[in-house]
């Protein structure tokens, strides 16, 4: 069992008491309990010099040594670089140069993210020896905040293929989802406190749900993608993955913001996302899909969703059943056309140069080759459909503040009796609206697999997502559960 405590974040008085117990437990038990500290807990201990970045980093590396062979979360562990960065952070803090709540916090990044001097393979043999000469913007921003890069997390090659070649900590025989599965696994297994993910077709939210962690797909243009190997320039999103809602908000505070090196980022004011936490949901209007839209989901996912709605009603929120846009199903197909066509553009030079380097049965190669064969008229038709879909989404979201659905149609690896009509995932890649996955319970049959919620809002309204997610998290303890490794 880790040393995190729900009461730490519930109020300042309770938080102080919990911090005292955390510090005492850490000093008594040694580094073995430090790996499940939240960012907020570890940050307070580091700020008050009751825990050093070096101690925390060593505890994380020890945890990786303990469980990595079981879960396979990492492509690369940058052990020497991490320890050196931790020493630097420790020296800075000792000189009174504390940078903020991410200073000294271990983090990892998906292996599509450029990392200066460290391999960035995108999980493919094609880039097995590629070492960037600069950091992706999100990596640079985390380092500027004082965070300690531990390593690069696993993914299916070039983020294509759905499931990550890692093992779900809750059942090592099952998938962690994808494509940001390595990041989700590392968090659930206590190998990291923070990680980044990429989301083109649900690739942050999917593994976050299956692994019982928190994953935010921020608004399109809020987080820079500069230095991140792409799938689709009009659908790709980058976002933070953590174990708690508060930690996620702390991380987005660092990642969000205009980047002149990414022409798709938007120059908008960036709030302190933690300010919305604790405001509750009384009077908040929650849009939910009508029952028939989820009646083919796994029974435990439906149960977790409805139990969560009962929590929100108890807290004073108003539920509004809504019909989905008329173009939604067509847009799912249109999303695939856009995705593979834009992927073909990125992969064109690789396909022309040495396509065999992708390896046997490589999905990135096959999808890019198919995308290259799609007539331009079909790509343009999908983009026109996307414009109509955006208009319908704008009208839909006028009737509520947030939209909540089950996180996934089924727990990890569980088959469905019927093909579901809609999983409410790719729609938010197509419109670019922010959407976040949060833990919402565990399955009964089979026993012990995570289920989750998805919470979405209008563009650049991440604050209300954090507010609504935190209210639910404060009433439950799902996020405190740990897999038996």
> Which of the residues 52, 159, 186, 203 is marked catalytic?
203
Which residue has 């993914």 as its token pair? 155
DSSP assignment of 346-381, as one string?
HHHHHHHH-GGGG-TT-HHHHHHHHHHHS-HHHHHH
The reply to whether 387 belongs to the active site is: no
- Catalytic, 234? Answer no
Give yes or no for a contact between 339 and 232, defined as CB atoms under 8 angstroms apart.
Answer: yes
DSSP 223: B
Query: For the sheet containing 285-289, what is the strand order?
Result: 74-77, 148-153, 106-110, 194-199, 237-242, 214-217, 435-442, 450-456, 402-406, 285-289, 318-322
Ordered alpha helix ranges (H), 212-354:
245-255, 299-314, 328-353
DSSP β-ladder status, 148-153 and 106-110: parallel
Provide the 3-class DSSP secondary structure of residue 448.
coil
Rounded to an integer, what is the distance from CA 261 to the centroid of its chain? 23
> How far apart, in Å, are the Cα atoms of 457 and each of 220, 400, 463?
12, 9, 9
CA distance 280 to 180: 30
Contact call for residues 124 and 155 (beta carbons, < 8 A) = no
Find the distance separating the first CA and the last CA of the chain, reported in whole Å. Answer: 11
CA distance 295 to 300: 11
Single out the catalytic residue among 110, 143, 217, 426: 110
Sign, Cα dihedral of 229, 231, 234, 236: negative
Cα radius of gyration rounded to whole Å, the chain: 21
Both structure tokens of 207:
């593994």
d(CA 303, CA 300): 5
Look up 179 and say whether it is catalytic: yes
Q: Which of 38, 120, 159, 179 does the annotation list as catalytic?
A: 179
- Residues marked active site are found at 110, 179, 203
């Amino acid at each position: 069992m880790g040393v995190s405590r729900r009461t730490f974040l519930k109020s300042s008085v309770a938080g102080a008491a919990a911090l005292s117990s955390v510090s005492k437990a850490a000093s008594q038990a040694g580094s073995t309990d430090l790996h499940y500290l939240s960012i907020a807990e570890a940050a307070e201990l580091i700020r008050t010099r009751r825990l050093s970045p070096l101690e925390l980093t060593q505890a994380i590396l020890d945890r990786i040594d303990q469980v990595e062979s079981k879960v396979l979360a990492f492509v690369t562990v940058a052990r020497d670089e991490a320890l050196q960065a931790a020493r630097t952070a420790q020296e800075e803090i000792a000189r009174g140069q504390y940078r903020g709540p991410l200073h000294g916090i271990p983090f990892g990044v998906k292996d599509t993210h450029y990392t200066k001097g460290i391999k960035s393979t995108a999980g493919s043999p094609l880039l097995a020896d590629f070492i960037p000469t600069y950091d992706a913007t999100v990596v640079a921003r985390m380092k500027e905040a004082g965070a300690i890069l531990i390593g690069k997390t696993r993914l299916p090659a070039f983020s294509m293929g759905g499931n990550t070649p890692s093992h779900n900590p809750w059942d090592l025989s099952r998938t962690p989802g994808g494509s940001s599965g390595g990041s989700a696994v590392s968090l659930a297994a206590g190998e990291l406190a923070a990680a980044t993910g990429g989301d083109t077709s649900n690739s942050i939210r999917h593994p976050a749900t299956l692994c019982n962690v928190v994953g935010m797909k921020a608004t399109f243009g809020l987080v820079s993608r500069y230095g991140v190997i792409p799938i689709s320039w009009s659908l790709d999103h980058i976002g933070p993955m953590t174990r708690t809602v508060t930690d996620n908000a702390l991380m987005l505070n660092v990642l969000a913001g205009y980047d002149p090196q990414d022409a798709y980022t938007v120059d908008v004011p960036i709030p302190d996302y933690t300010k919305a936490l604790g405001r509750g949901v009384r009077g908040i209007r929650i849009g939910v899909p009508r029952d028939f839209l989820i009646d083919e989901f796994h029974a435990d996912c439906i149960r977790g969703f409805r139990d969560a709605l009962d929590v929100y009603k108890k807290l004073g929120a108003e539920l509004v059943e809504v019909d989905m846009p008329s173009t939604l199903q067509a847009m799912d197909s249109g999303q695939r056309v856009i995705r593979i066509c834009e992927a073909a553009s990125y992969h064109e030079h690789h396909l022309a140069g040495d396509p065999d380097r992708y390896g046997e049965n490589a999905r990135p190669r096959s999808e890019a080759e198919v995308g290259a064969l799609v007539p331009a008229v079909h790509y343009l038709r999908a983009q026109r459909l996307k414009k109509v879909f955006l208009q319908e989404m704008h009208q839909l979201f006028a009737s509520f503040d947030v939209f909540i659905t089950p996180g996934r149609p089924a727990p990890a690896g569980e088959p469905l009796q019927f093909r579901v009509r809609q999983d409410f995932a790719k729609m938010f890649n197509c419109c670019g609206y922010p959407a976040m996955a949060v833990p919402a319970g565990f399955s009964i049959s089979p026993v012990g697999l995570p289920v989750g919620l998805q919470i979405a809002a209008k563009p650049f309204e991440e604050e209300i997502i954090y507010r609504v997610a935190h209210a639910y998290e404060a009433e439950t303890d799902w996020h405190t559960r740990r897999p038996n490794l």
